[in-house]
Amino acid sequence: MPSTNLTFADRSAHRAWLATQAALPAGFRVGTTRFDFVPREAPKPAKMTLTLIALDRPTADFAAVFTKNAFPGAPVIVGRKRLAEPRLGAIIVNNKISNVCAPGGVEASERICAATAQLLGLAPTEVLPSSTGVIGWTLPVDAMVAGLPAAAQALAGGSVMPAAEGIVTTDLYPKVRRATVGSGSIVGIAKGAGMIEPNLATMLVYLLTDLVVPRAELRAILSRVVGTSFNTISIDSDTSTSDTVVALSSGRVPCPDLAAFEAALRQVCQDLAEDVVRNGEGVRHVVRVAVRNAATPELARALGKAIVNAPLFKCAVAGNDPNVGRLVQAMGKFVGAHAPDTDLSKLRASIGGIVIFARGVFQLNPEKEVALVAHFRAAELYASAPPQDGVFAPPIHFPPHERCVEIDLDLGTGSGAATVIGGDLTHEYVSENADYRS
């Protein structure tokens, strides 16, 4: 569940709230630059943003989790190697091109790290690369190296907003969340809008803290936190090649309680994960599925994923049509194929607090149908509009609220539980991904 239930009247109100979340922890600076280039594979003008996240001094206390896709991007390959290094001092991020399976991709990432390191007085192995964008294209390394001095010159403390804005691609708005623990803080930023199903998603997530959290503890905590946040969301069931979640501690402030730190980091990550779904490509409804009393937590999470990834149910949600048969069908399909020994005789299912299935049969009437439609409409982020010049475009560039279509499933067979967040399936999503490279 989100730590808040925020509403925003317009983009300015949302940006003002983001500014209240964006203060950098002690020991960090961020800088960005933007330049024109021409992709070799598609020779037409394009723009790329470089985003630099730097510590005032390198830290031994860093952690990262990467995609499980079997075709990882070059920055993921390099990043996994960086986990064995004694220190990390900076992260260099580019958008537009993801550097996945491109000729010379690893060498390109390493060259950019080396150029970044030279500017910052670091060893090349103290720089972590991240890339997001089109899969298969090659990075414009010369142009990126030429742009790096401007990003380094722009480095400043104060606000993480330049980095939050710099890492986005098809995102409609930046995502920033924060928490405090004692006199220290955690600030997280994320990008991600499509190709979202963890294990991770097309996500880049950077979690910065000034609290002292030793390396081994930070890595164990991050692994646990990712399991209950970014690995419980899905927009379209596609696992990206470039997913990266990085946590860095500048070690400036004593940590009074590692358990409190873990709880705060989990809340930051859960909020960012829901932000990613709410900002998903074409998403007009966020769907939250809470599965309770399952045989195991793993079954609960898998069942929740099966529901938020079911195309027919996602389309019904998009149309504000509470076609509950599609929900039950999706559950039955998953259980029949993957957990056939599950006893569904005790299943009790609700949407928006309205019981729609119990004791093996639907529990519906005209009054419930009206109430279900109202629940769907209340969760809608924006109304669908006709395409302009053949292209669907969302009319908003901010999240108007944090409401969800709320689904509760009580299996009554155990103590396992999980909450999964997903989105609907809209014309806008298809249009966005049909024209992604165009």
Helices (H) and strands (E) in the chain, counts: 12, 16
> Please, are residues 275 and 230 in contact by the beta-carbon 8 Å criterion?
no
Q: Which residue has the tokens 């279900």?
A: 372
> Please, are residues 210 and 27 in contact by the beta-carbon 8 Å criterion?
yes
Distance (Å, whole) CA 58 – CA 53: 12
Tell me which long-range contacts 375-378 makes (C-beta under 8 A, separation of at least 24). Answer: 375/322, 375/351, 375/405, 375/406, 376/285, 376/317, 376/320, 376/321, 376/322, 376/405, 377/320, 378/403
Instruction: Say how many C-beta atoms besides its own lie within 10 A of residue 63's C-beta.
Output: 24
Closest CA to 285 of 264, 308, 263: 308
Helix axes 141-153, 105-120, angle to 10 degrees: 30
Specify the 3-state DSSP secondary structure of 136: coil
Q: In what order do the strands lie in the sheet with 175-181?
A: 62-66, 244-253, 204-211, 184-191, 175-181
Question: Is 239 known to be catalytic?
Answer: no
Catalytic position from the list 202, 239, 244, 419: 202
- CA 103 vs. chain centroid, Å, equals 28
**Positions marked catalytic:** 202
